[in-house]
């Protein structure tokens, strides 16, 4: 087991899709088999866009149930709800005072919102609440509270982790070396999984396969994958086929090599390849999907798991916040 502390937060904004799973959740779950892993459900971060308590709570349960049913190793992982840890609100307030406003102005997600407003001819700050504007400060608090070394994230979050590092450096320069400097780690497959239309699978393109779609829905979605019009006996390039690119993540090496050969030799049509893909995904997800359903119908068990995780997280967080308060306030 490595001594490095690996931490990530997952925003509860809806059922993750296969792209999220392969790009972000699977590496995290695999990591938990060998290393200490801190994972929390970032419900405070979801607050800037979701203003309905029931929805946030439901999505929080979904992420917890999904991680557990897909095999997060609960011996090595601390799994909890961000809002259960009082120290994170404190550290957020404290870090506000050493974070330059200019740093927030540079945040990609905030800038994207301004650009969207400008394009629509709206007021520059329309729809921007302070939760969105100061999002990177809360995220820094998450990261720095738990003495994090490595933060596995998608490319879109890299800048936020760099901000956490910048903020830690400002702090250390002013108050002494208290924070470890975190580093982002971008997964090899992050952002690469194609969706039904061949573009990156993404909620924003409406081309996703939800991880726990039931079998009939899964089949329907797989059958809807867009292909070119090559006939079954024409050779096809597997590396340009969404079907093959998804299959790679769900079948064993021999089956992947077999489908590659069938594509290259023009020995399979897209319809049959889709059936193989559906069977491969379903074979891998059927059991976790049942476990997920069972956990979702026993949310009291999830509450207990999250409470246990929060108690473990609190020990680390309280230790950090005490030291930070002493350094800043005496
Ligand atoms: P979406 O594009 O659907 O809104 P997010 O931006 O919320 O997805 O991404 C959450 C996580 O899932 C990130 O770590 C991101 O890198 C990963 N991810 C999202 N889409 C894909 C994809 N198509 N392939 C691989 N990883 C992805
Ligand atoms: N901002 C991340 C996202 O939108 C979620 C998140 C919150 C996070 N706090 C974090 C990720 C700390 C890594 C570390 O996906």
Give per-residue pLDDT as tens, 109-128: 899 999 999 999 999 999 99
Sign of the dihedral defined by the CA atoms of residues 167, 164, 41, 311, in that order: negative
The closest of 136, 132, 133 to 164, measured between CA atoms, is 136
State the pLDDT confidence band at 286, using cuts at 50, 70 and 90: very high
Q: What is the pLDDT of residue 58?
A: 97
Number of domains in the chain: 2
Share of the chain above pLDDT 70, in %: 99
Tokens of 203: 């909620």
Instruction: State mean pLDDT over 202-206.
Output: 92
What's the CA-to-centroid distance between 160 and ligand 2, angstroms?
8
What does each C-alpha distance from 15 to 10, 132, 180, 225 come to in angstroms?
11, 22, 33, 20
Question: Both 37 and 180 in a single domain?
Answer: yes
Give per-residue pLDDT as tens, 10-52: 999 999 999 999 988 999 999 999 999 999 999 999 999 999 9
What does each C-alpha distance from 12 to 26, 44, 54, 184, 218 come to in angstroms?
17, 9, 12, 21, 22
What does each C-alpha distance from 141 to 40, 46, 71, 146, 270 come to in angstroms?
13, 15, 27, 9, 48
Q: What is the pLDDT of residue 191?
A: 75
Give per-residue pLDDT as tens, 50-94: 999 999 999 999 999 999 999 999 999 999 999 999 999 999 999
Question: Both 180 and 242 in a single domain?
Answer: no
Rounded to the nearest 5°, which phi and psi values hold at 128?
-100, 110
In a domain, 306, yes or no: yes
3-state DSSP assignment of residue 199: coil
Instruction: State mean pLDDT over 262-279.
Output: 98
Residue nearest to atom 8 of ligand 2 (CA): 9
Share of the chain above pLDDT 90, in %: 94
Question: Both 249 and 156 in a single domain?
Answer: no
Q: What is the pLDDT of residue 190?
A: 75
Residue nearest to atom 4 of ligand 1 (CA): 203
In a domain, 203, yes or no: no
What's the CA-to-centroid distance between 190 and ligand 1, angstroms?
7
Instruction: State mean pLDDT over 171-184.
Output: 97
Identify the nearest ligand to the CA of 16 by its number: 1
In a domain, 105, yes or no: yes
Question: Both 282 and 142 in a single domain?
Answer: no
Question: Both 155 and 285 in a single domain?
Answer: no
Q: What is the C-alpha separation between 306 and 308, in angstroms, rounded?
A: 5
Which structural domain range is residue 39 located in? 2-192+299-329
Q: β-pairing, 77-81 with 37-41?
A: parallel
In a domain, 33, yes or no: yes
Question: Both 179 and 239 in a single domain?
Answer: no
Question: Both 90 and 48 in a single domain?
Answer: yes
Instruction: Give yes or no for residue 142 having a pLDDT over 60.
Output: yes
Average pLDDT, the chain: 96
Question: Both 251 and 231 in a single domain?
Answer: yes
In a domain, 38, yes or no: yes
Q: What is the pLDDT of residue 156?
A: 84
Q: What is the pLDDT of residue 292?
A: 97
What does each C-alpha distance from 255 to 70, 200, 215, 270, 273 come to in angstroms?
22, 24, 21, 16, 12
Q: What is the pLDDT of residue 187?
A: 83
Instruction: State mean pLDDT over 120-139.
Output: 96
Helix spans in the chain (H): 18-20, 26-32, 43-46, 53-69, 86-96, 101-105, 108-120, 130-133, 135-145, 158-175, 215-223, 242-247, 253-264, 270-296, 299-329
In a domain, 281, yes or no: yes
Q: What is the pLDDT of residue 148?
A: 97
Q: What is the pLDDT of residue 2?
A: 59
Give the domain CATH number at 260. Answer: 1.10.240.10
- Catalytic residue IDs: 116, 200, 203
Dihedral Cα 238, 243, 246, 249, nearest 10 deg: -60
In a domain, 199, yes or no: no
Tokens of 230: 């090559």
Question: Both 266 and 127 in a single domain?
Answer: no
Residue nearest to atom 10 of ligand 2 (CA): 9
Instruction: Give yes or no for residue 1 having a pLDDT over 60.
Output: no
Q: Residue written as tokens 């006939």?
A: 231
Q: β-pairing, 37-41 with 6-10?
A: parallel
Question: Both 93 and 156 in a single domain?
Answer: yes
* Ligand 1 pocket at CB < 6 A: 19-20, 22-24, 153-154, 156, 189-193, 200-204
Tokens of 148: 């994090």
Question: Both 260 and 317 in a single domain?
Answer: no
Q: What is the pLDDT of residue 155?
A: 83
Q: What is the pLDDT of residue 266?
A: 97
Question: Both 63 and 138 in a single domain?
Answer: yes
In a domain, 282, yes or no: yes
What's the CA-to-centroid distance between 25 and ligand 2, angstroms?
13
Give the domain CATH number at 18. Answer: 3.40.50.620
């Amino acid at each position: 087991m490595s001594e490095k502390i690996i931490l990530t937060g997952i925003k509860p904004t809806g059922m993750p899709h296969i792209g999220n799973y392969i790009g972000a959740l699977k590496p995290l779950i695999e990591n938990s088999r060998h290393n200490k892993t801190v994972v929390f459900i970032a419900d405070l971060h979801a607050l800037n866009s979701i203003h309905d308590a029931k929805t946030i709570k439901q999505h929080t349960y979904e992420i917890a149930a999904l991680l557990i049913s897909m095999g997060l190793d609960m011996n090595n992982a601390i799994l909890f709800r961000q809002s259960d840890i009082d120290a994170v609100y404190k550290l957020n307030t404290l870090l506000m005072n050493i974070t330059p406003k200019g740093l927030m102005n540079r945040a990609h997600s905030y800038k994207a919102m301004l650009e969207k407003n400008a394009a629509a001819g709206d007021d520059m700050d329309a729809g921007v609440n302070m939760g969105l504007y100061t999002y990177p400060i809360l995220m820094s608090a998450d990261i720095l509270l738990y003495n994090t070394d490595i933060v596995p994230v998608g490319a879109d979050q890299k800048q936020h982790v760099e901000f956490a590092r910048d903020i830690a450096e400002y702090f250390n320069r002013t108050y002494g070396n208290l924070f470890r400097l975190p580093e982002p780690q971008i997964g090899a497959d992050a952002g690469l999984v194609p969706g039904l239309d061949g573009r990156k699978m993404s909620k924003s393109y409406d081309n996703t396969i939800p991880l726990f779609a039931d079998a009939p829905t899964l089949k329907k979605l797989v059958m809807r994958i867009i292909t070119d019009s090559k006939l079954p006996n024409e050779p096809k390039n597997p590396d340009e086929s969404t079907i093959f690119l998804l299959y790679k993540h769900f079948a064993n090496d021999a089956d992947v090599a077999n489908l590659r050969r069938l594509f290259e030799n023009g020995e399979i049509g897209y319809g049959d390849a889709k059936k193989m893909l559906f069977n491969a995904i379903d074979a891998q997800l059927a059991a976790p999907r049942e476990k997920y359903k069972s956990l979702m119908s026993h949310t009291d068990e999830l509450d207990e798991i999250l409470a246990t995780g929060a108690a473990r997280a609190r020990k680390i967080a309280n230790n950090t916040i005490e030291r930070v308060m002493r350094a800043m306030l005496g």
